[in-house]
Amino acid sequence: MSATVPAVNYWPQNSCAKAFWGQHELPPYQQLLQDTISWLDLQPGQRWLDLGCGGGQLTRALWQTTEGGLEEIVGSDCAAANAYAFEKLRSRVEPWSGDRIRFVVSDFSTGLPFAEDDCFDGVVSGLAIQYAESYSPETGRWTTNAYDAVLKEVCRVLRPGGQFAFSVNIPEPSWLKVAALSVFGFFGARSPGRYLHKAYAMWRYGGWLKTQARKGRFHYLPRPLVVKKLQAAGFVQIERRRSFAGQAYLFRCRKPE
């Protein structure tokens, strides 16, 4: 690893973003999505942030679960291509969302694009914050500084008592297990060829992600360490469970009142 030039990051690239647009069709992801939404305390009139939103599947689930009762959902992601995905979501989601669903291009590795404190009732994130990256040219090593900082930023933008629910992969996740369980979805897919193409693309990027995690760039951390980092960021009432074919931890916690 060079001390001055980090390896390429595929996340902001449109091809990588598009590869994950179809992940909601895979049974392991459907399980994770259902587990995440079932853990949320959603109330009418709330304002939510979908951090690392990708194509907006959590945003869609938030909106439909509340039957359009939320004041606003902001999706934020580093890949500009996801703006197109959000436009399609806004045009198709029911009930009609108007401008109450919107997308912001932002890389949470460098902070959140919200100057105001205490501005969201809830933050949700699906398999995203583990990719906050920070590199030290002085030591030639990746650090967890950006990961720690994004947790603190989430706590900052939450209102007192606000909830944070997010998923992260376990250490050394088995993408092969996720892919194997996804095969069953092939038979119910509307476009089997497209389904297999998307599954293969995610499996291919998964290998890159695991390699970078082993180098310390990305953060597939043990559960006790994630809890420790949440506590350091100021969160309380921390709970956790397994999901995503056993390859992800799902956490929920709150900002103190």
pLDDT tens profile 196-249: 566 666 666 777 788 889 999 999 999 999 999 999 999 999 999 999 999 999
Nearest in space to 220 (alpha carbons), one of 131, 120, 122: 131
* pLDDT value of position 125: 98
177 burial via Cβ count (<10 Å: 0-12, 13-18, 19+): middle
Q: Which amino acid is at 81?
A: A
Instruction: Concatenate the DSSP letters of all residues of 1-48 into one string.
Output: --SS-PPP--TTSHHHHHHTGGGGGSHHHHHHHHHHHHT----TT-EE
Domains of the chain: 14-254 (3.40.50.150)
Pairwise CA distance, residues 196 & 182, whole Å: 9
In the structure encoding, which two tokens stand for residue 247, read together?
């390859």
54: DSSP letter? T
* pLDDT value of position 184: 58
Q: Please enumerate in sequence order all residues whose Cβ is within 8 A of that of 236, keeping only pairs 6 or more positions apart, or say none.
A: 253, 254, 255, 256
pLDDT tens profile 9-65: 766 666 665 556 556 667 888 999 999 999 999 999 999 999 999 889 999 999 999
* pLDDT value of position 3: 42
In the structure encoding, which two tokens stand for residue 64, read together?
């439909």
C-beta separation of 61 from 32 below 8 A: no
pLDDT tens profile 99-124: 999 999 999 999 999 999 999 999 99
